[in-house]
Amino acid sequence: MFKTRLLSGIVLVIAALFFIIMGGEVLLVSTLIISYIGMFELYRIFHIEKDLAGITGYLAATVYYANLRFAFFSEPMMLVLGLLILLMAVYVFTYPKYKTEQLLAAFFGVFYVAVMLSYVYQTRETEAGTYVVWLVFLCSWGCDTCAYCVGVLFGKHKMAPVLSPKKSIEGAVGGVIGAALLTALYCFIFRNAMKISGTEIEILTGIGAAGALISMIGDLTASAIKRNYNIKDYGRLIPGHGGILDRFDSVIFTAPVIYFLAVYTIHF
Detail the DSSP E strand segments found in the chain.
Answer: 158-160, 164-168
Quick check: bond before 96 cis, omega within 30?
A: yes
Q: Which of 7-11, 23-27, 122-126 has the lowest mean pLDDT?
A: 7-11
Residue 223 has pLDDT above 60, yes or no: yes
Tell me the pLDDT tens digit for each residue of 50-75: 999 999 999 999 999 999 999 888 88
What pLDDT score was predicted for residue 1? Answer: 54
Share of the chain above pLDDT 90, in %: 68
Specify the DSSP element, H or E, that contains 4: helix 2-22
Per-residue pLDDT for 260 more than 80? yes
- Which phi and psi angles does 96 have, rounded to 5°? -105, 40
pLDDT of residue 157: 83
> Does pLDDT of 239 surpass 90?
no
| Residue 242 DSSP class | B
Please report which confidence band the pLDDT of residue 2 belongs to, taking 50, 70 and 90 as the band edges: low
What's the confidence (pLDDT) of residue 213? 93
Q: How confident is the model at residue 15 (pLDDT cuts 50, 70, 90)?
A: confident
pLDDT digits (tens, 9 = 90+) for 143-163: 988 988 898 888 788 888 888
Question: Could you read off the pLDDT of 82-96 as tens digits, one per residue?
Answer: 999 999 999 999 999
Q: What is the chain's percent helix, strand, coil content, to nearest 5?
A: 80, 5, 20
Q: CA 218 to CA 138: how far, in whole Å? A: 15
Residue range 103-111: mean pLDDT, rounded: 97
Query: What pLDDT does residue 17 have?
Result: 85
- Predicted pLDDT of residue 6: 62
